[in-house]
Structures are given as structure tokens and as C-alpha cells.
Amino acid sequence: MLRYLTAGESHGKFLTGILDGFPAGVKIDAACVARLLERRRLAPGRSARQKTESDAVEITGGVCKGLTTGAPIALLISNAAGRPGHADPWIVKPGHADLAGSLKYNVPPALIRERASARETAMRTALGAFPLRLLELLGIYIISRVTLLGRAADISRAGSSGPKAVAAMLAEINKARREGRTLGGIFEIYACGVPAGLGSHAQADRRLSARLAAAMFSINSVKGVEIGGGFCLAMEHTENTVDFPEMGLGGAVFRTNRAGGIEGGITNGSQLVINCALKPPPAFAGPVPSFNLKTGKKAAFRPVRHDTAAVPAAAVVAEAAAAFEIANALLEKFGGDSFGEIQPRVDAWRRRTKKILRGA
């Protein structure tokens, strides 16, 4: 079983992460982790903080000479940015975790924000580089694209992620920055090459759809998750919501993927498709009305630097989160403590499912 923990605050000295249960013999190095972190850090829409951070990652356990050893993988990322000056740590930032967290833990809102901040997702991304690499070596690839940002017309759900869509996204971000607004949006995750049979319908907590949805909802600001046709299926005629098999030379083929690659909580061999909607970061150009949790009196919350859009960066975090869940389900099905053990089992299973589809 794969599991992970992270620790550290947004402006603490380090972010720390441990990934346990990861197999031995997977070829990976710090550069591979750094590339993923770089995509998160330099995603469009980030604040000036990202220029201060280098997100240099140190692998302090579980990897020797570029190969995982089967021991827990331990990572460290240093924080460079200093703590922004909080006028009063007891003033609640509306729309963040401040109020709920302070009521629960009885500590100042500013302290809650330090851990609730999406800075923590840097470590989740770094840890996710390991399952992503395992899957890649098994021919499973996870990619993402932004399909909606604010009201940018050219990044439609049916649109491409080509230069036109990127230009529209950057224009929308620059406009929002000038106007002192932040942007929400939608990203889409695809996983290609996922073998059939991961997850199970047999128990609620073994459904891969449920696990993937929980992983997506664990990402800050995610307010909606769809698998396959998602919410649109609710309004469709039944025949437009089902993937009908057609018989080809190699057996049954499916020309649609309305299920998004999962039926009954089990992967069916088609591409996994997940959409996530994010609210805009709860950040403002000037002071906003709030209150002081210590005095109970009205107070203005004064914003500090913030991201204009989190969607492009969150999409990278989601690739890592999806990889963790898919790799976990894959290890549950195939077992094995080293890559050398796992790979032939996956190959054999792929051959077998192909045969079954041909009626053998």
C-alpha cells in the first residue's frame, strides 16, 4: 500500500514529505522531481513569490544511485520566502481556511493559513513524481490541460491546448491582474495506457472513481470534480450516456468514452478523464471587510501578494495526485516489491485482457 504524509508551513523553514510503500528498482533522480516542481512553480498566474522560491528538492531517503530502494522516500524542499507581515494575526481572511480552522484549533487565523496554504502542494507534487515515474515506466501517461480560465472564451472545453488557447489564458490573467481580480476555472486530467481492472466495485472504499475524486477534492480550491461526461450526463438521453461496444478485428472496441474510463469503480481499459473546477483564489487587491477573532470587532483584512490564477498550477498538482491513486490501485492488483516483479505481471495482464476481449 502506498501512503504519504507532508509537513511544514507556507513560510516555515522546510516542507517535508515521506512516501511509504513505493517499490524498489524504479529509475528516478532529483532532476525528474525538479522538472515536475518547475511546471507547478512557473505555471501562468502565479504571484511574485514564485520568483523567490527555487523549489530545490533534496532526496534524503529511499533512493540510491538513481534507483528507489523500497525504503520510505523522504524529501525536503526549503522555503525561501519570508513570512509576510500580518498586521494582526487574529483578523480572518474571508474565503480561506481561517475561520473554520481557528474555531477548531483555537489558534490565530494567520497560523491556520500557514498550513492551509497551497504551498503544501509543492511537496505533494514532488512526492507524486515517484508514482508518475513508475506509471510512465509501465506505459501509463498522465497529462493535464486547462480548459476554462475565468471567462476566457478561447479556452473552451472542446478547444485545444495549442498556442491560441495559451495566448487567451495569458491575456485573461493579465487583464485580471490589472483589474485586481483573481480567476477560477477548470482543468482536465487524462491518464492513457491504464490497464483494465484497477479498483473494485466490491467495497465503497475500493472504487477507484471515489479515490480519484477524493484526491482531486484534496487540492485547495477544488469545488467540483467530474469523471467522464460528468454533470452533462445528467441531462442526456440514456443512449447518449453509455459506451456501446462494436466488434473490430481485435475484439470489442469502444468509439466513445462517456464513462471516462471507469465503470463500477473499476478501470475499463479506456483513457481516464477527470475534470476539476476551482474557485478563484480568495485574494483581493485592497482591504476587504472582516473581523478580529480575538476582539470580536469589525476589522479589515489587508491582502498580501497572491496568485491571480491557481488553475494551471493546480493541474500539475492533480497529475501527481491522480498518479498516486492509480499507482496505489495498480500495486494493490499486481503486488510486487520491485519494478522487476511488477512489470512482467502488468504485461501478462495486458496480454490476457486483450485475449478476453477477442473472446478467447
In the complex with ligand FMN, which residue's Cβ is closer, 220 or 270?
A: 220
37 is a site residue for ligand FMN (CB under 6 A): no
306 is a site residue for ligand FMN (CB under 6 A): yes
CB of 124 to ligand FMN, least distance (A): 10
In the complex with ligand FMN, which residue's Cβ is closer, 311 or 329?
A: 311
**Binding residues among 52-111 for ligand FMN as defined by CB under 6 A:** 96-97
In the complex with ligand FMN, which residue's Cβ is closer, 28 or 276?
A: 276
Which residues lie below 8 Å from residue 138, measured CB to CB, with a gap of 6+?
193, 330, 342, 343, 346
C-alpha cell at 304: 498580501
122 is a site residue for ligand FMN (CB under 6 A): no
Distance between CA atoms of 188 and 116, rounded to whole angstroms? 24
The backbone torsions φ and ψ at residue 236, rounded to the nearest 5 degrees and listed phi first, read: -90, 160
Per-position x/- string for 250-289, each x denoting binding to ligand FMN as judged by CB under 6 A, each - no binding: -------------------------------xxx------
150 is a site residue for ligand FMN (CB under 6 A): no
Q: Which stretch binds ligand FMN (CB under 6 A): 9-17, 126-134, 217-225, 287-295?
A: 217-225
The backbone torsions φ and ψ at residue 13, rounded to the nearest 5 degrees and listed phi first, read: -70, -45
In the complex with ligand FMN, which residue's Cβ is closer, 23 or 185?
A: 185
Distances, alpha carbon 107 to alpha carbons 6, 94, 320, in Å: 20, 16, 31
Exposure class string for 91-117: b at 16+ Cβ within 10 A, else e: bbbebbbbbebbeeeeebbbbbbbbbe
Please name every residue paired with 68 in a beta bridge, in sequence order, or none if there are none: 63
Distances, alpha carbon 89 to alpha carbons 94, 96, 113, 138, 333, in Å: 13, 14, 10, 48, 48
118 is a site residue for ligand FMN (CB under 6 A): yes
CB of 34 to ligand FMN, least distance (A): 18
- CA dihedral 335→337→339→340, nearest 10 degrees, is -90
Q: How many residues bind ligand FMN (CB under 6 A)?
A: 18
144 is a site residue for ligand FMN (CB under 6 A): no
Among 16, 54, 78, 117, the residue binding ligand FMN under the rule CB under 6 A is 117
Binding residues for ligand FMN, rule: CB under 6 A, are 47, 96-97, 116-118, 121, 219-221, 281-283, 306-307, 310, 313-314
